[in-house]
Amino acid sequence: MPEVEIGKGRSARRGYSFDDIAIVPSRRTRDAEEVSITWEFDAWRFELPLVASPTDSVVSPASAVAIGALGGLAVLNAEGLWARYDDPDSMLAEIASADEAAATKRLQEIYSAPIREELIAKRIAEIKAAGVVTAASLTPQRTQRYYKTVLDAGVDILVIHGTVVSAEHVSAGGEPINLKTFIAELDVPVIVGGCANYQTALHLMRTGAAGVLVGGGSGHTASTGVGVPVATSVADAAAARRDYLDESGGRYVHVIADGGMRTAGDVAKAIACGADAVMLGSALAQAAEAPGGGKHWGMATFHPELPRGSRRDVGVLGSLEEVLVGPASRGDGTTNIFGGLRRAMGSCGYSTLKEFQKVELMVSAGN
């Protein structure tokens, strides 16, 4: 991709968000009912190519079971409120009702409660008992400390999730986690992320991760200036997946788009850019079953030293089923998200997600 001159001393690549691109219909169309959006990951087959973001405003043990029943994969935050409080409902209600100016500070106070390993095990067991695929996330900083508790509780998939995760982390404060060695010793598949460019995605794939979250950094540019438009990030990671497939002799690593998606159209564009599945947060926080009560906050919002992002009022649009698979009562793409994906694929004549990754794309005028 040609670079753009910023000034005489610096140039940069041009990056694109999902709003900057459009999917081009082809000469052939297909009934939406004949389209398959199933996603096969490791030993599991999901009816929806969906990973629910491990944020407390989206995933509770109850909502994880509901998402699993609808065909998606929900990831419980093993460092979140359900791992800190016996009954987090009062804390959730307080977060939802807090004055906007004081919300971040109150989040920091609430999340200062210690993580309790017995609660981690209890929450995972609650999800596992419902018979759905069970996933839990840890940050890279706490993975070594809590991963045995998570695995012993019976988790099916481990997610190592941070705003930005790399295979090489330099630290003067102790020995950092060696992802390649760590993943090789586990008996469960690991999803790692986020990352935002080709090289980082390729490095994470080389660690042995089964999936890579792509788009990390897109939500905290105001605090750090770090972030890449997600459409470009996903396309870069898809290129890394292709090259790693050749390099490894056939090992396929799933690319999961994370961030920048609010509507069915955004999800369709993410798959078109090369994603195998999508991780949704704020879109699911708008469901009636979401524990945030119409509010949404990310994992970095309550950081004790440098909060990134803020608690947002996203409202309630309908039930979880209506948000994911309809029927829709709105025309803005925020409900029946995966029905919209089916419709987009059918409009272009594609019957599977892998085929749809080859659809023609166009950059909007002016970009």
Q: Are the C-beta atoms of residues 273 and 257 closer than 8 Å to each other?
A: yes
Specify the CATH number for the domain of residue 121. Answer: 3.20.20.70
Domain-located, residue 3: no
Domain-located, residue 1: no
Domain-located, residue 6: no
The per-residue pLDDT for 287 is 97
Domain-located, residue 208: yes
Q: Are the C-beta atoms of residues 346 and 338 closer than 8 Å to each other?
A: no
Bridge-based pairing of strands 44-46 and 39-41 is: antiparallel
Q: Over its length of 367 residues, how does the chain's per-residue pLDDT go in tens digits?
A: 678 888 888 988 889 999 999 999 988 899 988 999 999 999 999 999 999 999 999 999 999 999 999 999 999 999 999 999 999 999 999 999 988 888 888 999 999 999 999 999 999 999 999 999 999 999 988 999 999 999 999 999 999 997 656 555 444 455 567 889 999 999 999 999 889 899 999 999 999 999 999 986 444 444 555 668 899 999 999 999 999 999 999 999 999 999 889 999 999 999 999 999 999 999 999 999 999 999 999 876 666 655 566 789 999 999 999 999 999 989 999 999 999 999 999 999 999 999 999 999 999 866 6
Other residues' Cβ atoms within 10 Å of the Cβ of residue 184: 11
Domain-located, residue 333: yes
The per-residue pLDDT for 296 is 93
Domain-located, residue 272: yes
Domain-located, residue 295: yes
Domain, as residue range, for 241: 22-363
Please state whether the peptide bond connecting residue 68 to the residue before it is cis, i.e. omega within 30 degrees of 0. Answer: no
**Could you give the number of structural domains in the chain?**
1
Strand partners for 51: 73, 279
Rounded Cα gap, residues 344 and 339, in angstroms:
9
Domain-located, residue 177: yes
Report the predicted TM-score, pTM, of the whole model to 2 decimal places: 0.93
